[in-house]
Chains A and B, each alone.
Chain A
Amino acid sequence: MATVELRFSASPEHVRTARLVAAAVARRAGVEESVLDELRLAVGEACSRAVGLHAAHALDTPVRVTLSEGEKAFSIEVGDDAPPPGGQRAEGPGDGEADQLGLAVIRGLVDDVQVTSDARGGLIRMSWPAKPPSLA
């Protein structure tokens, strides 16, 4: 089960909120401080991309972010409701230059990343190693 779920209307001004929430939950989950800047940037890129796709397809549904704390990893999923371009998600010819730059940044920052889709639309899955703080 997701530790924290966030849905926000697909407007640029909410992307910062998503970044801040993701970084706060990741810190609590034991993601190393040195990685938090990269995590914040990657989540921001994924959310900006989703906001752009919703605008491009005139969708009024929210962008979905789930933040999940695992035993050894902290994972984030960012989901959009955009239809797959030409039957292929995310890297089809329908994507703009800005979108490609955003994906390039995510791939450069995150070792474990999947650009995929679910029943709703596109999905970017990212995870980072985490050591939950001991309770001792």
Chain B
Amino acid sequence: MDLSLSTRSVGDRTVVEVGGEIDVYTAPKLREQLVELVNEGNHHLVVDMERVDFLDSTGLGVLVGGLKRVRAQEGSLRLVCNQERILKIFRITGLTKVFPIHATVDDAVSATD
């Protein structure tokens, strides 16, 4: 399965819905999308990973890169994920401390901390 990407605006947040597999082959597409959004002035991103089937360290690297970019603009990058197998990868790499991870898109969009 390939990667699917779609974006929509909710208030001042931009929600990026990601589906499929994020790996060494598909991660560059996600990187391009995040870079483009930030360059267009979208500095508060919510990455909805509920439809992601697979995520590896290449994908983690892209998300960390996205976080660096939005922070440079005083923005934010929040993740939406409830899937245990995906959350586990964030835990073993210590990235749960780096990314705010929310249970629903509504929670992520309304979060202000």
Which residues of A line the B interface, CB within 8 A?
12-13, 15-16, 19, 37, 40-41, 44-45, 48, 51-52, 97-98, 101-102, 104-105, 108-109
Known: A15-B24, A19-B54. 5 other contacts (CB 8 A): A41-B54, A52-B24, A102-B58, A105-B92, A109-B92
Q: Are A105 and B93 in contact (CB-based, < 8 A)? A: yes
Q: Which of B24, B58, B89, B92 has the most CB of A within 10 A?
A: B24
Measured CB to CB, the nearest residue on chain A to B84 is A37
Determine if B35 is an interface residue (Cβ-Cβ < 8 Å): no
Measured CB to CB, the nearest residue on chain B to A102 is B57
Residues from chain A with a CB closer than 8 A to the CB of B24 are: 12, 15, 44, 48, 51-52
Q: Are B93 and A48 in contact (CB-based, < 8 A)? A: no
Q: Are B25 and A101 in contact (CB-based, < 8 A)? A: no
Shortest A44–chain B CB gap in Å is 5
Complex-state Cα separation, A16 to B57, whole angstroms: 14
Q: Are A105 and B21 in contact (CB-based, < 8 A)? A: no
Residues from chain A with a CB closer than 8 A to the CB of B58 are: 48, 98, 102
Q: Are A45 and B85 in contact (CB-based, < 8 A)? A: no
Q: Are B92 and A45 in contact (CB-based, < 8 A)? A: no
Which residues of B line the A interface, CB within 8 A?
21, 23-25, 54, 56-58, 60-61, 85, 89, 92-93
Q: Are A15 and B92 in contact (CB-based, < 8 A)? A: no
Q: Are A41 and B25 in contact (CB-based, < 8 A)? A: no
Measured CB to CB, the nearest residue on chain A to B92 is A108
Q: Which of B23, B54, B92 has the most CB of A within 10 A?
A: B23
Q: Are A15 and B89 in contact (CB-based, < 8 A)? A: no
Measured CB to CB, the nearest residue on chain A to B85 is A37
Complex-state Cα separation, A109 to B58, whole angstroms: 16
For the complex of A and B, 5 pairs with smallest distance between CB atoms: A108-B92, A12-B25, A48-B24, A101-B57, A12-B24
Q: Are B92 and A41 in contact (CB-based, < 8 A)? A: no
Identify A40's interface contact among B25, B54, B92, B93, CB under 8 A. Answer: B54
Residues from chain B with a CB closer than 8 A to the CB of A12 are: 23-25
Q: Are A16 and B21 in contact (CB-based, < 8 A)? A: yes
Complex-state Cα separation, A98 to B61, whole angstroms: 7
Q: A12-B24, A15-B24 are in contact. Are A48 and B56 (CB under 8 A)?
A: yes
Residues from chain A with a CB closer than 8 A to the CB of B56 are: 41, 44-45, 48, 102, 105
